[in-house]
A and B are shown apart, each in its own frame.
Chain A
Amino acid sequence: MSMFNVFHISGSALNAQSMRLNTTASNLANADSVTTETGEPYRAKQVVFAARQVAGTGPASVGVQVTQIVDSAAPMRMVYEPNNPAANAEGYVEMPNVNVAEEMVNMISASRSYQNNAEIMNTARTLLQRTLQIGQ
């Protein structure tokens, strides 16, 4: 029954969008983390979405999958802070390459997409419930 596939499709999108929201949260939380476990400054992370056919269904069911999480290639932010223990010989501290404005936009976009997919799931649920009531 194809209407049930809607749950798989929208479910995969909810999963992907919440992952995107998670990376945005860690990027914003670590916008000023000068060091990490490796000793390097934090690098902004971005998710990569790819369209994938839902297993065991026809070509119409195309869900979303997060194929990888990549580190942003943007240049690191250099801040002049000679008193900071992490400062280099010239007095500059290498700060994370997180673009706060970009992350906020990402967050809004992800939450709107999440809402949209949840709405589609709700519609499918209502329609299936009505289908169950045929002949009553």
Chain B
Amino acid sequence: MRTLLDKSLRFHHTAFNLQAYRQELLASNIANADTPHFKARDIDFGAALNSALGRVGDGSLAAVDLDRTHRAHIEGGAGAGAENFAGYRTEFQSAVDGNTVSMDVERAAIAQNSLHYEASLTFISGMFRTMGQAISGQ
């Protein structure tokens, strides 16, 4: 059973984890900007968030969680990892060395993702403050 605290924080907490994961992917892209044959990656954020929250498509239907009773089992259902939503970027300008990292695209994505991360933080902080206020009853 989910507690009230868990329920109210779940959305932002999930988004928060995904943003941290995306930041990692984007940092890898920038780190490998000069590596031959490296292909830039990113995640489908909306789909990953919906899946992590256990929703499908329009957000109405709840997906079924699959239990993993053996370590060789494939992860599935609502708990599927963000890795499943990672894809390769389409390149705008091809490079001779087969690298598809476009520095301006990556920097823009990093700036956007950082801002979203900070927004999630602000929301979580605000929720804690609201709850604190409700508890203290003043």
Interface residues of A (CB under 8 A from B): 1-3, 5-6, 9-10, 12-13, 17, 20, 49-51, 58-64, 109-110, 113, 116-117, 120, 123-124, 126-127, 130-131, 133-136
Contact = CB atoms under 8 A, between A and B. Distances in A.
A6 B36 CA distance: 21
A9 B28 contact: yes
Interface in B16-72: 17, 20-21, 23-28, 30-36, 38, 41
B128 A134 contact: yes
A96 B28 CA distance: 36
Contacts of A60: 21, 24-25, 28, 41, 82-83, 86
A133 B124 CA distance: 11
A66 B106 CA distance: 22
Contacts of A10: 27, 30-31
B75 interface: no
Contacts of A136: 125
A18 to B, nearest CB: 13
Contacts of B124: 134
Contact of A135 (B41, B82, B128): B128
B121 interface: yes
Counting chain B CB atoms within 10 Å of each CB, the highest count among A12, A62, A64, A117 belongs to A62
B76 to A, nearest CB: 17
A126 B27 CA distance: 15
Nearest to B103: A116
A116 B32 contact: no
A13 B118 contact: no
A124 B26 CA distance: 11
Given A9-B31, A117-B31, A130-B121, A2 B23 contact: yes
Contact of B114 (A64, A113, A127): A127
A51 B32 contact: yes
Interface in B87-133: 103, 107, 110, 114, 117-118, 121, 124-125, 128
7 contacts: A2-B17, A6-B23, A6-B27, A9-B28, A10-B31, A13-B32, A136-B125
Contacts of A63: 28, 31-32
A12 B25 contact: no
Nearest to B107: A116
Contacts of B36: 49
Contacts of B23: 2-3, 6, 124, 127
A2 B31 contact: no
B118 A120 contact: no
A116 B20 contact: no
